[in-house]
Amino acid sequence: QVTNQINQVGHLTIGGVDSIDLAREYGTPLVVYDVNQIRHQIRAFKKVFEEEQVDYAVSYASKAFAAIAMYQVASEEGASTDVVSAGELYTALKAGFPMERVSFHGNNKSKAELEMAVKKHVGKIMIDNFYEIDLLNEVLEKNNSEINVMLRVTPGISAHTHEYDQTGQVDSKFGFDIESGQADLALEKVLANPRMHMLGLHAHIGSQIFELNGFEMAAAKLIEIAVSWRKNHDYTAQVINVGGGFGIKYVAEDHPLKPEEFVKAIIKTIKSEAAKNNFPIPEIDIEPGRSIVGPAGYNLYTVGSRKDVPGLIPYLAVDGGMGDNIRPALYQAKYEAILANDPRKKTIQKVHLAGKYCESGDILADTELPDVKPGDILAMLDTGAYGYSMASNYNRNPRPAVVFAENGQAQVVIKRESLMDLVHLDQSYNV
């Protein structure tokens, strides 16, 4: 794959743009997205649904990377989007994202957030708990408004992935429990509320999942609940949302299915479970985040210092680190890095690729690299999901710029923070 992205001068290209030119022009650390890859993945998801001839929504989980430009691309590609905060909703609004295609998620949405969502007429509120039903009712009454809702349930499925990334098991902070009857009670409350239009059921079992069966079980469980609701509550769900979580390949040992293959299996399960129960095939919604933006993102760094201890693996440091990509430190996430100014150069050494942050755990990757020297540009691959979106100003380092590259053209879509930006909220203390 990388071979196709090398230009005549032997540099890595991203979206048809020379990565070394990007580093020179915009500085490093730099986050670069190949916009075509983003478009391609959204289209691949849509194609599966079109082929299977079901009603659907591909709702981009924007927590993976939220920016005005990203909402613009998602909107242009006909995707819906998930937001989980007033901040994401505000960014989507600024991008002109169609509000009817927005779903608002979260286990503790504030009254102010719900009010914003109601006033802006978002497409759906994904109700997570009983407190939220009451709070939303209050907001709807105050604004004399109505809104579409879905109920998030916890299907009792643990996906085999990093513990922090699991959300579908019973002992989880998200969603209504099923076995104890909470989901049924929530349904009754929502159906009894004329301001809430109940659309259906949602579950999200986790993130960076490689196995099909978790998704199949979740999909089957959702249909099972829908069938029981039709029987016991005379309510027929129109929408089943199976969440996101489709795993991507970060390193050679990862062997996930293609994201769209997960979706195909989910659709098959829902169709067959619905048919078995003589239940009308619902609209099927998915909420991929990582699989849409992850593979499209690259973090560019400049090589700096190096520490060699005889007999030990050397530390090679770059000018970014845990402030622009917390995932290795937080989840022991693995990434591959290549020498962007000469991707074909032979790898000869194992290194701890260290960041610049004052913390021993700030190691971006344990990887193999060619012989590199200060000033060389490294590209970390597949950094597009939960990289910039989880960035911080730790050690008062400015967050990097984000560039969109497509068809040989590059554009800054988030400016690099300046030192002035870092202090612009500070107030001096008058003693």
Q: Is 161 in the site for ligand LLP (CB under 6 A)?
A: no
CB 60 within 8 A of CB 84: no
**How many chain residues interact with ligand LLP (CB under 6 A)?**
22
**Smallest gap, in angstroms, from Cβ of residue 427 to ligand LLP?**
32
Q: Is 168 in the site for ligand LLP (CB under 6 A)?
A: no
- Residues 92 and 140: their CA atoms lie apart, in Å, by 22
Identify which of residues 13 and 325 has a Cβ nearer to ligand LLP in the complex: 325
Is 358 assigned a catalytic role? yes
Q: Is 291 in the site for ligand LLP (CB under 6 A)?
A: yes
Q: Is 175 in the site for ligand LLP (CB under 6 A)?
A: no
Sign of CA dihedral 66, 155, 327, 12: negative
Q: Is 103 in the site for ligand LLP (CB under 6 A)?
A: no
Q: Is 331 in the site for ligand LLP (CB under 6 A)?
A: yes
What SS3 class is residue 159? coil
| Closest to 19 in 3D by CA, of 38, 3, 35, 6 | 6
| Closest to 215 in 3D by CA, of 151, 248, 264 | 264
Identify which of residues 243 and 343 has a Cβ nearer to ligand LLP in the complex: 243
Identify which of residues 165 and 273 has a Cβ nearer to ligand LLP in the complex: 165
**Smallest gap, in angstroms, from Cβ of residue 271 to ligand LLP?**
22
Q: Is 37 in the site for ligand LLP (CB under 6 A)?
A: no
Which residues does 281 contact at the CB level (< 8 Å), separation at least 6? 54, 270, 271, 274, 275
Q: Is 109 in the site for ligand LLP (CB under 6 A)?
A: no
Identify which of residues 90 and 331 has a Cβ nearer to ligand LLP in the complex: 331
For strands 56-61 and 80-83, give the pairing.
Answer: parallel
Q: What are phi and psi of 21, to 5 degrees?
A: -60, -40
Which residues does 352 contact at the CB level (< 8 Å), separation at least 6? 313, 314, 315, 316, 363, 366
Q: What are phi and psi of 172, to 5 degrees?
A: -140, 155
For 16, how many CA atoms within 13 A lie in the half-sphere containing its CB? 10
Identify which of residues 287 and 406 has a Cβ nearer to ligand LLP in the complex: 287
Among 29, 123, 168, 243, binds ligand LLP (CB under 6 A): 243
Among 5, 208, 299, 383, binds ligand LLP (CB under 6 A): 208
Residues 352-391 that bind ligand LLP (CB under 6 A): 385-386
Q: Is 204 in the site for ligand LLP (CB under 6 A)?
A: yes
Q: Which two structure tokens, joined as six digits, stand for 52?
A: 């299977």
For 329, how many CA atoms within 13 A lie in the half-sphere containing its CB? 20
Among 15, 156, 200, 245, binds ligand LLP (CB under 6 A): 245
Identify which of residues 11 and 46 has a Cβ nearer to ligand LLP in the complex: 46
**Smallest gap, in angstroms, from Cβ of residue 161 to ligand LLP?**
9
Catalytic residue chosen out of the listed positions 358, 419, 420, 425: 358
Return the H-helix or E-strand segment holding 303.
strand 297-307
Q: Is 327 in the site for ligand LLP (CB under 6 A)?
A: yes
**Enzyme catalytic residues:** 358
Instruction: List interacting residues with ligand LLP (CB under 6 A).
Output: 61, 64, 82, 105, 165, 167, 204, 207-208, 243-246, 287-291, 327, 331, 385-386
